[in-house]
């Protein structure tokens, strides 16, 4: 087949020029070449169609998904009224828009723009009947096919944008919820990355003696935030968890004197290498106190069982010794005056020591099983006043200054009066001993500020105070800080037992050189 020379080959531009329909399609394609829907591009297509087909009217209708109406893109001279927009939108939705009356002078064409069975828009045009009607139909059909995926992509992009915005809102809400949960935890929590920089810092970490605002902590090296703690020690603790991948738990004493449990937890963000480290600080001071009270109760129970077991074994020989003392005392009259005086002295000592042993045994019995007493409604202030009256003339109280601060209208407690007097008397006598019978004893009653169903009785002295080591043991049987011969170490143990039997509790606050305060809490309802 002979080849045409370059000089005889027709060019694309000449072909387009000789075919108006191809030229129009070329211009429309060029306008839509960006492949992105825009209102300016739709208006330009409408203008090109109007000019290229010498149309009296040309409108490009595109669906507005949010309002279920259709918007017209056209020249200003073809701008439809609101009534026309509403009527055309309804016709396109109902599928009746293509039904237009025939005319001999002009041809009204309405070509639908469909995508996967959905009506996305419509090309409305009015051209003269000049023999180019078929070309106009063909061009509009091709342009409708070109516009179809473009308009569909516009709606898809809106759907994607809506979905992205929805997911972003969900993620933000989840983030706020997670942050709220972390901030609501009653523990201090922070997270660092491998560069030791703070990535999370909950609200609990903003309080306390080392509280730092979140805004001042995030993004900073943890060593600059927790500057009171040794840098090298902190780094070693972090490095050990990063290297081993094991949870580390230890306890520490804060500067405020409270006890804390510190837990360091490795975190793997991508489930492979440890990327972050979570540190949780929990105040366990109250928990430790409760554990101490439980241990104390168990210890007292064990000693009480022991006391109950040996009580009878000791009482029997004591009774025998007492009987022998009485027998010897009855025969002492037959002795000479000098021998009788010596024997009487020995017998007096023996009788005194036997009585002392009996008191110890009875105290052990009270410790193991407090004597049952009728519990009735009692006025705490009256019980305190009666105790003070009994001690008024006691030798250890003559040099004391007594301060009374008894609250009025206190609710009554259900208690055994004699046992409460025994408790208050033991605490007051201990206070007098701590002050060496010289100082101020303050007695206070009132409601417990932390619990409305309790009353408190506080006895404060200005004595020597109790060391922290002794505070842990003062309620143990036979433990005493008094000089030899001045106490058996059973008084506070019995106090503890009686208060516990009344469903109450006793707390001690003491500072060396400044005195002590024993506070008894009793419930206002039946024990």
For 183-233, what is each residue's pLDDT tens digit? 777 788 889 999 999 988 888 887 765 678 888 888 989 888 887 778 888
With 90 as the cut, is the pLDDT of residue 319 above it? no
Six-digit token pair at 289? 């106190």
Q: Name the residue among 415, 430, 429, 359 with its Cα closest to residue 387.
A: 429
pLDDT score recorded for residue 442? 93
pLDDT per residue as tens digits for the range 392-444 = 777 777 788 889 999 988 999 999 888 898 889 889 888 888 888 788 999 99
> Distance between CA 224 and CA 315 in Å, rounded?
69
- CA–CA separation, 188 and 199 (whole Å): 14
Per DSSP, 472 falls in state: T
Name the pLDDT band for 124 (thresholds 50, 70, 90): very high
- The reported pLDDT for the residue numbered 277 is 92
Cα angle 16, 22, 26; round to 5: 90
Specify the DSSP class assigned to residue 342. H
- Alpha carbon distance 471, 517 (integer Å): 12
CB 212 within 8 A of CB 201: yes
| Secondary structure element (H or E) that encloses residue 458, with its range | strand 451-461
Helix H or strand E segment including 511: strand 505-511
Binning pLDDT at 50, 70 and 90, where does residue 154 land?
A: confident
pLDDT at 132 over 80: yes
Structure confidence at residue 153 as a pLDDT band (50, 70, 90)? confident
Phi, psi torsion values for 33, nearest 5 degrees: -65, -25
Integer Cα distance of 169 and 175 in angstroms: 10
DSSP 503: T
| Residue 127 burial (C-beta neighbours within 10 Å; 0-12, 13-18, 19+) | buried
Strands of 196-333 (E only): list them: 198-201, 248-253, 259-267, 276-283
pLDDT of residue 3: 43
Q: How does DSSP classify residue 59?
A: E
For residue 5, the model assigns a pLDDT of 43
**pLDDT tops 60 at residue 16:** no
Average pLDDT value over all residues in the chain: 80
Q: Higher model confidence: residue 470 or residue 424?
A: 424
Residue % of the chain over a pLDDT of 90 = 21
How is residue 194 written in tokens? 């491998």
> 454 CB contacts (<8 Å, ≥6 apart)?
447, 448, 504, 521, 522, 523, 524
Q: What angle do CA 236, 239, 244 make, to 5 degrees?
A: 120
pLDDT value at 247 more than 50:
yes
pLDDT of residue 363: 64
Model-level pTM greater than 0.85? Answer: no
Taking the C-alpha atoms of residue 262 and residue 252, their distance in angstroms, rounded to an integer, is 7
On the CB side of 199, CA atoms within 13 Å amount to 13
């Amino acid at each position: 087949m002979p080849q045409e020379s370059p000089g005889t080959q027709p060019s694309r531009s000449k072909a387009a020029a000789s075919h108006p329909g191809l030229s129009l399609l070329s211009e429309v394609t060029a306008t839509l070449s960006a492949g992105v829907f825009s209102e300016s591009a739709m208006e330009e297509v409408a203008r090109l169609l109007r000019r290229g087909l010498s149309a009296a009217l040309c409108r490009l209708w595109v669906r507005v998904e949010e309002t279920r109406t259709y918007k017209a893109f056209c020249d200003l001279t073809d701008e439809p009224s609101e009534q026309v927009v509403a009527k055309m939108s309804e016709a396109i939705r109902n599928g009746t828009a293509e039904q237009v009356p025939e005319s001999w002078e002009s041809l009204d064409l309405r070509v639908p723009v469909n995508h996967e069975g959905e009506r996305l828009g419509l090309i409305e045009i009015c051209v003269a009947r000049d023999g180019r009607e078929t070309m106009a139909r063909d061009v509009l059909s091709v342009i409708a096919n070109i516009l179809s995926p473009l308009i569909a992509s516009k709606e898809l992009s809106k759907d994607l944008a809506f979905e992205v915005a929805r997911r972003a809102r969900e993620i933000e809400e989840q983030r706020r919820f997670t942050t709220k949960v972390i901030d609501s935890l009653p523990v201090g929590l922070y997270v660092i990355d491998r560069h030791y920089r703070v990535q999370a810092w909950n609200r609990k970490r903003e309080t306390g003696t080392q509280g730092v605002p979140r805004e001042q902590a995030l993004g900073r090296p943890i060593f600059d935030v927790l500057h009171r703690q040794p840098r090298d020690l902190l780094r070693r603790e972090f490095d050990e968890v990063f290297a081993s991948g094991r949870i580390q738990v230890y306890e520490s004493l804060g500067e405020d004197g409270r006890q804390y449990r510190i837990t360091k937890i490795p975190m793997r963000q991508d489930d492979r290498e440890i990327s972050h480290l979570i540190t949780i600080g929990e105040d366990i001071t109250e928990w430790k106190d409760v554990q101490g009270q439980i241990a104390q109760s168990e210890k007292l129970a064990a000693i009480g069982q022991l006391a109950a077991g040996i009580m009878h074994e000791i009482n029997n020989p004591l009774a025998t010794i007492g009987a022998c003392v009485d027998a010897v005392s009855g025969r002492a009259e037959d002795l000479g005056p000098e021998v009788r005086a010596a024997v009487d002295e020995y017998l007096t000592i023996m009788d005194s020591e036997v009585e002392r042993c009996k008191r110890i045994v009875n105290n052990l019995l009270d410790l193991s099983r407090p004597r049952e007493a009728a519990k009735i409604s009692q006025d705490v202030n009256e019980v305190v006043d009666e105790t003070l009256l009994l001690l008024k003339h006691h030798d250890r109280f003559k040099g004391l200054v007594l301060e009374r601060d008894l609250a009025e209208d206190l609710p009554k407690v259900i208690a055994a009066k004699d046992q409460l007097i025994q408790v208050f008397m033991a605490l007051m006598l201990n206070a007098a001993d701590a002050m060496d019978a010289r100082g101020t004893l303050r007695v206070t009653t009132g409601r417990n500020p932390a619990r409305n169903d309790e009353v408190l009785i506080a006895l404060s002295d200005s004595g020597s105070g109790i060391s922290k080591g002794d505070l842990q043991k003062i309620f143990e049987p036979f433990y005493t800080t008094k000089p030899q011969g001045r106490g058996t170490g059973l008084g506070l143990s019995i106090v503890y037992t009686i208060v516990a039997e009344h469903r109450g509790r006793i707390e001690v606050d003491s500072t060396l050189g400044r005195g002590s305060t024993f506070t008894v809490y009793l419930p206002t309802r039946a024990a």
